[in-house]
A and B are shown apart, each in its own frame.
Chain A
Amino acid sequence: MTATLSPASRAAPPPPRTKKIAGVGERLSAYAYIAPFFVIFGVFGLFPFAFTFYVALFDWNPIGDQVFIGFDNFTRMFGDPRFWNAAGNTVSIWALSTVPQLLLALVLAHVLNHARLRFALFFRMSVLVPYVTSVAATAIVFVQLFDRDYGLLNWLLGLVGVEPVDFVQSTWGSHLLIATMVTWRWFGYTTLLYLASLQSVPRSVFEAAAIDGAGPWQRFRHISVPSLRPVIIFTVVTSTIGGLQIFTEPLLIATGAPLTCGAVRQCQTLTLFLYEQGFGQFEFGYGSAVGVALFVMVVAIAALNYLLSTRIKAD
């Protein structure tokens, strides 16, 4: 603002004293109004966040000694096959859930945006139902559907002569199960994001394309998808960050060994590994180190998002 100030305005006489005091009070009261958020954020967000980096440098027994060990937790983590296993599982579950989820949402959004769709509001709202269903309830139902002995899915497979599959106990099966749950929960949310973005595309564009002889696929390919590009990038990034933090689904599916998600950690994700180390084994230092690693990954992806979205704006 200084650039626009002329010397004349700067030299303007000060306002009367009483008014000035009121001005200060007003200005301070603004800070008082926003203080509750920042105080709570500081206590529950910022401080614990910073403290994690501190704890990560210790061999921290919550009911015993806290010994400073420098970067030993990180050295241990990089050499820990359980960490890499969890990282691999996280990436695998993320890929299995994000790709189908975004594709499904893209197609659904295109269909729901169709001008001649009847009961459009009903369909648009109903895709959100899985999103508002409790994760725990979703997990209970899906685990039963995928159950080895009594599951509906294995019953159907049995009809065509396939041997029962133990989804929870196998690596790919448990990943598929979790990815299905994640997809089920989030595809409606993503669909609505796409739909909102599509509705800002003037309908005349679609109509003009139709008059020029473009079929449904061509309209999808050449109008819907390009106009959605920024929001697609956004959803890829948010679902990647979300995918790095998948926690409840793997915790709930292997009831025999919940913290490791099965006997050989076949579906243990990074957040679950963090939780197992922190609150199962009470190795707070090591658990914090995993938290720091997770933080670095999330920051890297957020930076990638920033680069991509600025490039798109520049285009």
Chain B
Amino acid sequence: MKLRSPLLRAVAVLALLTACAPGTGGGGGGDGKSFEFWSFSAINQKLTVDAYKAKRPDIQIKLTEVGTSTETAQSLTTALAGGKVPDLVLIQGDNLPQFVEQPQNFVDLRTLGADDVKDDYLDWVWRQSVAKDGEVLGVPTDVGGMAVAYRTDLFAAAGLPTDRAAVSALWPTWDAFIETGKRYKQATGKAFTDNAGTSVFYQAVNQVSEKYHSADRKLVHNTNPQVKAAFDLGIKAATAGITSGQSSFESAWSAGMAQGQYAAVAAPSWMLNTIRSTAPDTKGKWDIATIPGGSGNWGGSYLAIPKRAKNPQAAWEYIKEMQSPQGQLEHFVRVGALPSTPSVYRDGKLADAKDPFFSDAPIGKIYTDSLLGLKPFYIGPDSAVIGQEFLNAITNVEQSGGNPATAWDDALRNIKTAIAE
């Protein structure tokens, strides 16, 4: 669309939203018997809401599936800036830091009793929602873990092992993963994995002890050798000719998955749902192996209560009930999201869970194992932008013929521009 009546329209939207100062008023004032809940689409949140309604028939919940996690965060920002806020909102981990920087927009959950349940959760996950003066802004609902989903039929056709233990043994390191990719490519002439940015770089860079910030929260993305090593792995995968060059979640990527254009894809626990719904005809042809490097986490979300919420108490009761270790375990059984509460990791419902779509892989065990020995690192408000620029530089080499030799410097320059420092 060309906006013939110009500018005015874009500007109108922009300025209208800015016209209202961020809400500083207090919340409360609701009936306490109902609350509004913003969640992402396509994560089956309704099942859990219905489960709560069954337990608490006196409570009305208005669930809105806003869109993707990014769209939900954008809508939340707009709402906080001056619109009608929900009582309860789901925030994805990557979007969380920008809200943690501005804790005045949210209810400090310690005032509702967050300290009492703190010990139920993985400590490093909990800490990501703690603001600088100790305010607790969110309760972690799930974590990603890490693994690789692969197509057993395509592996067999390439003469590779298909058993998940043997496949895991193929790639103790990312270099070995790339070598396996070359073997696959040689045998079949087809791409081994979807793309270097997401399936290699994003995984490797989340397996570090320090990411883009040092422990004292200074930016070190340009000097940290662990980041550079992960980036080099991404470039290596991009130039090895083992990827199909389809960026994650775009339409060609979905089509490629359904058509078997690639045989392996990095799969945090939430990705399993994506694979199921993107390529339903491939049921039973997948299996899950451990991630190169053994452990790591990508993703996970938080529930927060905006300051101006009308029914903060009702929202908190929902959090307390549904995000308790038992509540998260039931959520895992319903939709497969990995709990952020380690006390249930040995529960049979999780530890013995098998997924028929993925050749009965023991998903509970694989993903909880990937969280063991994880080294937590600080995630800052610029982390998402920095990660995106690194990813873009790798994608440029992979898909647009960019020069691999200058990719690192290009990425650093773009980051500098993007974060204006």
What is A's interface to B at a CB cutoff of 8 Å? 44-45, 47-49, 51-52, 55, 60-64, 76, 80-82, 135, 143, 147-150, 166, 169-171, 182, 186, 238-239, 241-249, 254-257, 260, 262-264, 266, 271, 274-275, 278-282, 284, 287-288, 291, 294-295, 298
Contact = CB atoms under 8 A, between A and B. Distances in A.
Given A291-B7, A295-B7, A49 B248 contact: no
Contacts of A149: 252, 255-256, 261
B54 interface: no
B12 A44 contact: yes
A52 B14 contact: yes
Nearest to B392: A263
Contacts of B245: 166, 169
Contacts of B418: 82, 281
Interface residues of B, number: 55
A62 B13 CA distance: 13
15 contacts: A45-B12, A48-B19, A63-B81, A76-B420, A143-B251, A149-B255, A150-B252, A170-B400, A239-B2, A242-B3, A256-B249, A280-B74, A284-B18, A291-B11, A294-B7
A177 B395 CA distance: 20
Given A81-B417, A291-B7, A166 B1 contact: no
A49 B15 contact: yes
Contact of A242 (B2, B247, B248): B2
Contacts of A143: 251
Contacts of A44: 12, 16
A118 B239 CA distance: 58
B383 to A, nearest CB: 13
B8 to A, nearest CB: 5
B417 A260 contact: no
Interface in B1-59: 1-4, 6-8, 10-19, 22
Contacts of B253: 256
Nearest to A62: B81
Given A256-B253, A263-B395, A64 B101 contact: yes
A291 B14 contact: yes
Interface of A is mostly: helix
Contacts of A278: 14
A166 B13 CA distance: 34
A182 B2 contact: yes
B11 A49 contact: yes
Nearest to A266: B400
- A-B residue pairs, 9 tightest by C-beta: A256-B247, A48-B15, A242-B2, A263-B395, A256-B250, A62-B81, A51-B15, A255-B250, A248-B1
Interface in B299-313: none
Nearest to A173: B400
Given A239-B2, A288-B11, 4 more contacts: A149-B255, A186-B2, A238-B4, A243-B2
A263 B400 contact: yes
Nearest to A171: B400
Nearest to A140: B251
Given A55-B15, A282-B77, A245 B6 contact: yes
A51 B77 contact: no
Contact of A166 (B14, B399, B417): B399
Contacts of B17: 62, 284
B402 interface: yes
B78 interface: yes
Contacts of B99: 63
A279 B10 CA distance: 11
A246 to B, nearest CB: 6
Given A48-B19, A284-B18, A271 B417 contact: no
